[in-house]
Amino acid sequence: MTVKFERKKIVGVIGLSLIVVVFAMSSVYKTALAEHHGETKTLSAHDYEQIKELYARYNQGSDFRDTELFLSAFAEDAVMTREGGNIVGMEELRADRARRYQGKTGDVGRRHINGSYLITPTTEGAEARTYYLLMDVTVRPPDVISSGYYEDKFVKTDAGWKIKHRTLYRDTLDY
């Protein structure tokens, strides 16, 4: 009786192991097939967190006049579109920061605040639409000086996720 029970147990473990292997192989096959056909991939929780960290790098780099932190959010060939046109590539992004900072460093007295992140996978990486508020914290109570949203496209590079294209939309009273 013990031998029969042990044999059933071994057969059961082998059967369960085969099911797990087949399931894992089908997941790998489906991912490879999706990549081959240019279908959208899924994003992991880690991907979402890395993408959200780009907002912090952008915001704090801007708020504390830290050019390198600000630029670390962008891909080398990134484009930022806002009123006044496109800023294309790392050199133009760096020049824009130099113009804005005018040689000053440290806290600028503003805080960028983001919310309502809507991040979705794409065939090229990911995209998002995210709200922002820009606060003047040099007055009490702090004032909202601008609001709007970003439409972003992200790519995964050897250095992690980066902003490939950011379009900034300001809220206006013109509805």
Q: For 21-80, how does the pLDDT look when each residue is reduced to its tens digit (9 = 90+)?
A: 444 444 444 444 444 455 668 999 999 999 999 999 999 999 999 999 999 999 999 999
DSSP state of 106: S
Total-model pTM:
0.76
Q: How far is CA 116 from CA 58, 119, 128, in A?
A: 17, 9, 10
How many alpha carbons fall within 13 Å on the CB side of residue 94?
8
Concatenated DSSP letters of 109-131: SEEEEEEEEEEEE-SSSEEEEEE
Q: Is the Cβ–Cβ distance between 74 and 93 less than 8 Å?
A: yes
The torsion angle over the Cα atoms of residues 91, 97, 101 and 107, rounded to 10 degrees, is -130
Instruction: Give the Å distances, CA to CA, from 108 to 34, 47, 93, 97, 143.
Output: 46, 30, 18, 13, 14
- Domain edges within the chain: 1-38, 45-170
pLDDT tens profile 137-173: 999 999 999 999 999 999 999 999 999 999 999 998 6
Indicate the pLDDT class of residue 10, thresholds 50, 70 and 90: low
CATH tag, 45-170: 3.10.450.50
